[in-house]
Every structure is written in C-alpha cells, then in structure tokens.
Amino acid sequence: MSVVALSLNHHSAPLDLRGRFAFAPEQLSPALQEFCVNLAKLGPEAALLSTCNRTELYVATGSHRASSLIRPALEWLAQRGGVSPDQLMDHTVVMESHAAARHAFRVASGLDSMVLGEPQILGQMKQAVREADAAGALGTTLHQLFQRSFSVAKEVRTSTEIGAHSISMAAAAVRLAAQLFEDLSRIRILFVGAGEMIELAATHFAARNPAHMSVANRTLERGEKLASHFGAEAMRLEDVPARLHEFDAVISCTASPVPIIGLGAVERALKARRRRPIFMVDLAVPRDIEPEVARLDDVYLYTVDDLSALVQTASEKRQAAVAQAEAIIESGVQNFVHWLDQRSTVPLIQSLHTQAEAWRHAELGRARKLLAKGASPEEALEALARGLTQKMLHGALAELHNADPVQRAQMATAVTRLFLRGERPQGADTTTPFADRSR
C-alpha cells in the first residue's frame, strides 16, 4: 500500500501560482474522475483539497510503489494549472507514507493553517472527501487516512488549547480595518460573494455595528438570503463597479476564475470619493481584485497572504498547545502506518487461506474415498490429519533442506517462530536452530 500527498500551499507557493490551481467545490468531482481515467493503469485512489491557502492532491494505490505515482500526478496537476511540471515541482511539497499521513493530520488539526487552529479547514477536508467519494475515487486507504485525520483533529481540539489561539481571517480583517478607521460604526461595507468566508466576515463586522452593509453576489437570490441575516442590502454583482465609490471597505471572496474588481473601477471610485481611502480585503484564490490596485494611493489592499503576519502570534501557552497537539498527531500517524503495513499483507493472507482451503478440500476428498472403500473412521481421520500435517510442513522443510548455511539459520529462526511459537526445538544447536533436523 502506498500513499502520496502533493501540496501546493502558502508555505511553498506564492498567491498567484496557487490561484492557477484553485478548484471550486463543484469542480472537484469531475477533476478527480478525469485524474483516475488518465492514471487508470496505476489504479489510483485520489482526493483533492482546495482552499484559499492550499491545493493538495492525495493519491493511494495498492499495486504500485508510491514513487510511481508522483510524476504522473504532478504532470496531470501541472496541465490543469497551465504550467510546466518542473515549475510546479519547485513549489510543491511531495510526501510519502509517514510524511503524507502526518501532513494530512496536521492540516485537519489546523496546525498547518495560516491561522493556527482555525476550524474551517476541517469542514473543507470533509467536503473534499465527500467529493472524492461522489467521483468514485475514494478507496479503502484514503478513506482510512481521512477518517483518522478527522478523529485526530477532534482529539486535538478537545484535548488541547489550539482552538483558543485561533484568529480567523475575518477577525484579522476587522483588526486591520479598525487600524485605518477610527470608528467602524461610521463606515459602509460591501461584501462581494455569499459563501462561508463572506458570511464569517459579515458576522465579525456586523458585531461592530457599521453604518451600512451590502452583499453583492452573482446570484441575487443567494445574496438576498445572506443579506437578510444581517439587515444588509443585496445588490447584483454587475452593479459593483458603478457603486464602488459608496463603500469605505470592500471584502471579497468569490469562486470567480478571473478578477471581478479591476484597476479602472477602483480608480473611478477613488475619484468619486475625492481620495477618501478604501479598505479592501481579497480573500479569494484566484484573486477577486486585480493586484495592480494595491499600487494606488488611498487604497489599502490585503490578500490572504498579507494577513498571515497579523494572525501568527507566538506565546509559551501556544507553543505548549502545539507540542501537545503534535504528540497526538504522531500517535495517530503511527497507528495509521501500522494499519497500512497490515494492509500490505492482505494479498498474502488471502493466498494462504486459499491454499489452506485447497488442502482441506483435497484431504477431505481422500478421507471420504477411504470411508467408501470400507476403512474405519479412525483410519480415515488418521489419514486426514497426516495429509494436512505433511502439506503444512512440506514447504518449510524443503526450504530448510535447500538453503545454504546462512540462509538455513535465518530460515530455521523463522520456522521456529511460525510453528513452535518461540519455543526452542529439542536438540537444536544454539547458533543454528534446526541445524541437525535439516540434514
């Protein structure tokens, strides 16, 4: 059994490159189906995790070495993002076996997030698993990996204080806005999008009682539903450029593959505002706001990467929680790897059962023939027992007889453990177990 994780994340890749590999939730299942068709000869299991901070491809196979999965998976992902495999490799962390499991557990527990302990990633991983299952790409190995990830994450959150040190992106945005505006209750805020991140941001800003809140979304009905929760105005996405000048703060997070707020629109808004500043937070990957906007005077534009400095705070208490969480994760990793090792012997175990069943069937047939010929039950049972015993020992004894001296010593040790359950055979040499019996 082999497990591989390819991770393009906020540690390894810049925002614009990550944006090339962002998958909307509805794109995950079709992408995985395409991946499995392209790599059908390797028989892979696969799952895709895509968030604002990372795109990760998890792959498993029971019939090939892990190393055989890496290059094909990397080439497929590179093609999806429109870059060369070598360019992608420069920014991708590749992990196998123990390392892949440890990474998955750390991600689920919020230890690899830009915001330590943030809880959203767990829900995103669960959605990734559901999409992989819907695509028919989730097999036994990845199912176990992710279910154990969720279990470890739950233990980390209930047994440590990691969650107490979580500062969400939304809360970080509020802190930044408070540094720019003296009184948040006097500002007008525009939220672009209607997903989970925008809902979280709106919740945090609503707590400051801003003067006005609007929600712009491509689907007006969904925008109206979110706006109603906060007593906000709903507006159409196409109306944003014309009304941008009305807002002091803009928080955007959509699944658009291209920017929806351009440089020209912001320049016109600033002119209409007579250079009054605009606070903008782009939480989307790929970007919702053209990066050139950041160069404009009187615009304070922050991306998800820009927020990292604010949310990463160090303290002894936090470090103690991290150490405790890492210990829980390491225990989970060892348990998963042990399960993985056991899974690798499944074909052998199945073959042994098949062989034993064949012997049983053959010897029962012989015993029945003896009984049909008039043999006593005692004679038939004796023949049955003798036949099974000979078949069971034949292979091991043949290997002992044919092995060279070094191999014979190793083989004798193995045979002793298998058939004598660790008991030292009578009359055996202490340095070469079974030495006399094998002659």
52 is an active site residue: yes
CA terminus-to-terminus distance, the chain: 39
- Length of the chain (residues): 439
- H-helix segments, 109-168: 120-134, 140-159
User: Which of 371, 411, 416, 362 lies closest to 390 in space, CA to CA?
Assistant: 362
- Residue with tokens 């090939």, as numbered in its chain: 64
CA distance 47 to 57: 6
- What is the C-alpha to C-alpha distance for residues 340 and 355, in angstroms, rounded to an integer? 24
Sign, CA torsion 36/38/43/46: negative
Distance CA 347, CA 424 (A): 30
Q: Return the half-sphere exposure (C-beta side, CA atoms, 13 A cut-off) of residue 339.
A: 16
Residue 96's beta-bridge partner residues? Answer: 4
Phi, psi of 59 (to 5 degrees): -135, 140
Which residue among the candidates 6, 52, 122, 415 is catalytic per the annotation?
A: 52
Give which of 7, 129, 31 is closest to 79, Cα–Cα.
Answer: 31
For 334-343, which contacts have Cβ atoms below 8 Å and span 24 or more sequence positions?
A: 335/148, 336/101, 336/144, 336/145, 336/148, 337/97, 337/98, 337/101, 339/144, 340/1, 340/3, 340/97, 340/101, 340/141, 341/1, 343/1, 343/62, 343/140, 343/141
Q: How many angstroms separate the CA atoms of 358 and 350, rounded?
A: 12
The answer to whether the beta carbons of residues 23 and 54 sit under 8 Å apart is: no
User: CA quadruple 168, 171, 175, 180: dihedral positive or negative?
Assistant: positive
Active site residues: 52
